[in-house]
A and B are shown apart, each in its own frame.
Chain A
Amino acid sequence: MSNPLIQIEQASPTGEWEKSKPEFRKGTWCYSATPQNVGYLGMPNPRQWQPSDADWKLPENWKQILLKGMKERLDKFRSFRLFMDICVRCGACADKCHFYLGSGDPKNMPVLRAELLRSVYRRYFTISGRIFGSLAGARELTEDVVKEWFYYFYQCTECRRCSVFCPYGIDTAEITMIGRELLNLIGVNINWVLDPAANCYRVGNHLGIQPHSLKDNLDFAADELEEITGIRVDIPIGKKGAEVLFVAPSADYFATPHYYTFLGYLALFHEIGLDYTLSAYASEGGNFGLFSSHELMKRLNAKMYEEAKRLNVKWILGGECGHMWRVIHQYMDTMNGPADFLEAPVSPITGTRFEHARSTKVVHIAEFSADLIHAGKLKLDPKRNDHWKVTYHDSCNPSRAMGLLEEPRYILRNACNNFYEMPESTIREQTFCCGSGSGLGTDENFEMRLRGGFPRANAVRHVKEAHGVNLLSCICAIDKATLPTLLDYWVPGVEVAGVHELLGNALVMKGEKPRTTNLRGEPLAIEEKEGAHA
């Protein structure tokens, strides 16, 4: 594959990393957050600036703020303190990072990304660093270092692939999260993170879609589903006393191809007669706070339990989203729990008690649907997906911060006849990020996204060539938003879909009309006859 735009080269690094500086080349960084968004969220130092400016207009005492922030976090996060101390620089993590593989920039090796912070840690927080300086691997904290932090902490998608291979479990996601949290203290942040966060805080979802528009969109979805299946579904919003609150990433109702997955959910809920409700207040599953600071993550996440309590539901069902599930699985109960006003989730259809979610009271829709299929509650016709040759992309967070690997595969195997796995080193816990996670999926960062997505695209290309794969399925809203462009560039001819879109296609609904199209409105490989599933 010869590509005129991006050359992927792996050259041996030379010189000394301590002395090199990042070049803020267009296409490799994201625009700064607008003062409106920073101000709205009540975060420090709102101002007009851009990373390409020479002067970043940092507060006068920026150095003091950063060092104080570091000290605080060294005393609050064992992960941070430990990971500053125990790296042996064995290099096992180096070629695990998609950004390093795609950019060849040695500072994208996880070990060096962390050294950017470690060198400062040594200088200001260890005796040997204070005495021996650079000999002990210590560096002064300068404005150049701040710029370097910004450049590289926004070239990490917090995907945790390196952590899987690290002999001490050093997790670059922790490093990046703390690094970004520090930068936020002096007002160095990006708009692609803070804009959705501010919208989510203010209105309820990333795009800032207000309640009436949300309602319009849902009505439209019901119309469309009716056109395809002949069945009118009811989409309750804010229904008190429903059994289940369903929270999905808002892209599911507003963006394609997410939208087809949403149609899949609707068809499924109708078919099994689930007593559920959506919420306009908690209309966002995603949480861009995770990409900014622990505090902002908590502030945004609080809505989910608050709404579940207000609506008096029994438990929460979560849609297909990657980082949303990192927050739900590893942070939500700790931050905003205990959810003692909810009940341990039980599937009203199969009676299965989701023991593993008994405290958080949130079940992943792939767990829920896999259980339905296993209990024989769904009638599926996988032939309806025969025009697809499907592969499955594990999203970073559900795989490495949860271990949700088999459930979506089980659904796929039941809903599709043609399912092919990508190579072993690129799936499950070794999965490669789409390259646009953690708030980096913006257009001005396009070159870096293509580079970061290169290893994933390569694995897709492999199954495309070997099996004729033409559809990549996944359970992450950021994947769905960014992989289509990425694949268009690297592997044209492969589309992207959610797992529940495929389930929705295959789902035989009671009283439906013969389907002529899939949920996308595209003709089926074989048109169905009346009574085909009688």
Chain B
Amino acid sequence: MRNKVVGALIGAMIPACAGLAAGASGGLRLPISALVSYAACAAFLVGICLRVLRWAAVPVPFRIPATCGQQKSLEWIRSATLDNPATGMAAAGRMTAEVLLFRSLFRNTRCEVNGARTIFSESRWLWIGAIAFHWSLLLIVLRHLRLFVEPVPAPVLIIEQIDTCFQIGIPRVCISDIVFIAALCFLLWRRFSDPVVRYISLCSDFLVLWLIAGVALTGIVMRHWSRVDVAGVKQFALGLATFSPVLPASVGALFLVHLFLVCALVAYIPSSKLMHMAGVWLSPTRNLANNSRAVRHVNPWNYPVKTHAYAEWEAEYRDKLQAAGIPLEGTYVESTHTN
């Protein structure tokens, strides 16, 4: 356990230290930062595409939705449209609820065994933490678009306005930042303190959390304490986006630490569990309609198998069938019937 946590921490320190080193590398600052950024972007895009294509290339031989409500059968029985979708549209609805609202996680219960009794309770903390984490992360990523696009798109400005509506501090404190940090702390705390979750955790589970924590921490320090030169950062980002990178001297090493951590994270995504963001869309227990008795599902690799055909069977049991008065297949001749 300790090895996994520390190993992950060391893993996360590498890009951070690389960022610091790059910051102190004088004339090499720009080429290194640009190179790392491009490499990470490329690894991210290529990696994600490869992984998703790989999944998509594998067939779904059987229609195996996990049904979580009443099926559509008799007209007068009300079926669970979303939890047991009967049509492709309804399955799309189920997926939407899954992706946007984490429907399945919302169902979570807790079961404790207390002296030969099972005790169930609702357990929404993980759902709350996960929803808070993912939605605030989305807002934060969207807010960062202001650095990459000129002029800043209106929706981004609106998001920012709402996000800072508490009007505390200069620059304004973002609600999404607070929620994100709180959710991240909760998820980290859970991974450490819950004995079950701690036991099942791998080194890589800690690694992504440390990386994300590093990104968040450096980002917040830059915004509220070290006051990074935002105009300079934007120059760098726009430069990257237009393939003519510049890195103003006013942008300090802390930014490079932030940048390198982000790069490490995005480059790591395709080979990590973070691919769940793409994989959830392809999950055959969720994205298929439960209509396998109404519409035939085709398995592209379905192949003929050896069976015990009726004629063979009848030949073996003819006497017994006759004795029992069970009708025989008169016209069948032994083993001409093949499957």
* A-to-B contact residues, CB < 8 Å: 1-3, 8-10, 12-14, 16-17, 42, 74-79, 81-82, 85-92, 94-96, 101, 104, 106, 109, 111-112, 115, 126-128, 134-137, 160, 163-171, 174, 201-204, 210-212, 214-216, 237-240, 280-281, 294-295, 298-299, 302-303, 306-307, 310, 328-331, 333-335, 337-338, 352, 354-360, 362, 367, 370-371, 374, 399-407, 410, 423, 425-426, 428-430, 454-455, 458-459
Q: Find out whether the CB atom of B324 lies under 8 angstroms from the CB atom of A164.
A: no
Task: Determine the residue in chain B with the shortest Cβ distance to A298.
Answer: B305
Q: List 9 A-B residue pairs with CB atoms under 8 Å apart, sorted by A's residue number.
A: A17-B200, A82-B284, A89-B202, A167-B98, A210-B317, A215-B325, A216-B324, A429-B83, A459-B118
Q: How many residue pairs, one in A and one in B, have C-beta atoms under 8 Å apart?
A: 318
Closest 7 CB pairs of A and B: A403-B71, A12-B195, A86-B279, A169-B285, A215-B324, A403-B67, A169-B286
- Please give, as numbers and ranges, the residues of chain A lying within 8 Å of B105 by CB-CB distance: 90, 92, 165, 167
B271 with A170: CB separation less than 8 A: no
**Interchain CB contact under 8 A, B79 and A330:** no
Interface check B148, CB cutoff 8 A: no
For B323, the closest partner residue in chain A by CB is A212
Q: A88, B61: Cβ atoms under 8 Å? A: no
Knowing that A136-B202, A211-B320, A212-B323 are A-B contacts, what are 11 other residue pairs whose CB atoms are under 8 Å apart, sorted by A's residue number? Answer: A12-B196, A78-B58, A88-B274, A136-B204, A167-B104, A169-B104, A239-B327, A334-B297, A359-B294, A400-B67, A404-B73
B326 near A106 with CB under 8 A, answer no
A401 to B68, CA, bound (A): 9
Partner of B293, one of A299, A338, A362: A362
The B interface is mostly helix, strand or loop, or mixed, namely loop
Contact across chains for B74 and A82 when beta carbons are under 8 A apart: no
* Interface residue B231 (Cβ < 8 Å from any Cβ of A): no
Interface string of B198-216 (1 = CB under 8 A from A): 0111111100000000000
- Give bound CA distance, A256 to B78, whole Å: 34
Partner of A356, one of B69, B71, B275: B71
> Which single member of B66, B86, B326 contacts A280 (CB below 8 Å)?
B326
A250 to B97, CA, bound (A): 41
- Asked, given contacts A95-B111, A307-B310, A359-B295, whether A78 binds B104 with beta carbons under 8 Å apart, the answer is no
A359 to B296, alpha carbons, bound, how many Å? 6
Cα distance, A458 to B117, chains bound together (Å): 6
Instruction: Decide: A91 and B327 in contact? CB cutoff 8 A.
Output: no
Closest to A360 in B: B293
List chain B positions with a Cβ less than 8 A from chain A.
Answer: 1, 7, 51, 54-55, 58-64, 66-74, 76-80, 83-84, 86, 98, 102, 104-105, 107-113, 116-118, 120, 126, 130, 194-197, 199-205, 271, 273-276, 279-280, 282-286, 290-299, 301-302, 305-310, 313-314, 317, 320-321, 323-327, 329, 339
CB distance from A3 to the nearest CB of B (A): 7
Q: How far is the CA of A105 from the CA of B326 in the complex (A)?
A: 51
Given A101-B118, A166-B104, A295-B305: A402 and B66 interface contact (C-beta under 8 Å): no
Is the Cβ of A168 less than 8 Å from the Cβ of B326?
Answer: no
Complex Cα distance, B73 from A352, in Å, reads 11
Q: Report yes or no: B110 in contact with A174, Cβ–Cβ below 8 A.
A: no
Residues A164 and B54 in contact in the complex (CB < 8 Å), given A92-B108, A360-B292: no
How far apart sit A385 and B293, CA to CA, in the bound complex (Å)?
A: 34
> Given B60, B116, B280, which contacts A3 in the complex, CB threshold below 8 Å?
B116
Whether the Cβ atoms of B68 and A400 lie closer than 8 Å is yes
Given A167-B105, A280-B321, do A135 and B203 touch, yes or no (CB 8 Å)? yes
- Docked complex Cα distance between A405 and B79 (Å): 10
- Would you call B293 and A329 a contact (CB within 8 A)? yes
Q: How far in angstroms is the closest Cβ of chain B from A156?
A: 15
Contact of A13 with B199 in the complex, beta carbons under 8 Å:
yes
**A211, B297: Cβ atoms under 8 Å?**
no
List the A side residues contacting B275 at CB < 8 Å. 85-86
A333: contacting residue among B202, B292, B323, CB under 8 A: B292
Whether B59 lies near A76 (C-beta < 8 A) is yes
| Contact status A429-B67, CB under 8 Å | yes
CB neighbours of B86 from chain A (8 A) = 356
Residues of B within 8 A of A400 (CB): 66-68
Q: A406 CA to B286 CA in the complex, in Å?
A: 22
Residues of A within 8 A of B271 (CB): 126-128
**Contact across chains for A82 and B305 when beta carbons are under 8 A apart:** no
Rounded to whole Å, the gap between the CB of B26 and the closest CB of chain A is 33
Q: Check A87–B273 contact: CB distance below 8 A.
A: yes
Give CA–CA (A358, B86) in the complex, Å: 14
In the bound complex, how far is the Cα of B64 from the Cα of A101, in angstroms?
Answer: 26
Min CB distance, B58 to chain A, in Å? 4
A458 to B297, CA, bound (A): 39
Q: B305 touching A403 by the CB < 8 A rule?
A: no
In angstroms, Cα B7 to Cα A204, docked, is 57
